[in-house]
Structure 1
Amino acid sequence: MEKDIKHGRIIIDTSIFTNPEVYQSFGLNPTEALRSFLEIISKLEGTSFYMPPSIYQELLNFIEAKDIPPDLQIRIIQKPPKRYELSVPAFLLYELIEDVRHRIDKGLRVAEEAVRKKIDKGLKISEAMEKRRKTSREKSVFLFPDVRMTEEIPYKTESESLEAAAIADLRKKYRAALREGIIDSKEDVDLILLAKELDGILVTADAGIVKWADKLGIRYLDPRMLRGILDKLLQEKN
Structure 2
Amino acid sequence: MSFPRQRFVLDTTAFTDAKLISHLGGTITDAVNRLSELISIGRLRLNISCYMPPSTFKELKEFLLESKCTIRDVDQVEAWVVRKAPDRHSVLLSSQVIYEYVSDVRDRLDQGMTIVRRAIKEALKQTEKNLYDENAQTVKDIESSLARTYEDKYRQKMRRGVLDSLPDIDTLILAKELGAGVVSADTGIKAWTERMGIRYVEAHFFPQIILTYLERLEDMPSSYKKIATKDKKS
Among 23, 39, 42, which residue is 2:40 paired with? 42
Distance (whole Å) between structure 1 residues aligned to residue 15 and residue 86 of structure 2:
22
Distance (whole Å) between structure 2 residues aligned to residue 41 and residue 219 of structure 1:
18
Aligned residues: 210
1:62 counterpart SS class: helix
1:85 aligns with 2:90: yes
Deviation at 1:104, TM superposition (A): 0.8
Q: Could you tell which deviates more after superposition, 162-171 or 91-100?
A: 162-171
Among 172, 180, 185, which residue is 2:160 paired with? 180
1:93-147: CA deviations, max 9, x gaps?
2211111111111000111112222333334454432xx5xxxxxxxxxxxxxxx
Q: Which residues of structure 2 form unaligned runs of 5+?
A: 221-234
Q: Is the 8 A contact 1:42 1:72 kept in 2?
A: no
Distance (whole Å) between structure 2 residues aligned to residue 98 and residue 72 of structure 1:
37
Which one-letter code corresponds to 2:81 in the other structure? I
What pairs up with 1:85-234 in 2 under 5 angstroms? Answer: 85-129=90-134, 156=138, 160-234=140-214
Q: 2:14 is matched with which residue? A: 16
Scaled by the length of structure 2, what TM-score is found? 0.79
Q: Which structure's CA Rg is the greater one?
A: 1
Deviation at 1:192, TM superposition (A): 0.4
Q: Which residues of structure 1 form unaligned runs of 5+?
A: 133-153
Distance (whole Å) between structure 2 residues aligned to residue 95 and residue 191 of structure 1:
18
Distance (whole Å) between structure 2 residues aligned to residue 224 and residue 19 of structure 1:
7
1:64-108: CA deviations, max 9, x gaps?
341417355311010111111111111222211111111111000
Distance (whole Å) between structure 2 residues aligned to residue 197 and residue 214 of structure 1:
16
The RMSD of aligned alpha carbons is: 2.4
Q: 1:136 is matched with which residue? A: none
1:178-213: CA deviations, max 9, x gaps?
121111222111100111111111111111111111
Q: Is the 8 A contact 2:32 2:77 kept in 1?
A: no
Deviation at 1:61, TM superposition (A): 1.6
Q: Is the 8 A contact 2:160 2:188 kept in 1?
A: yes
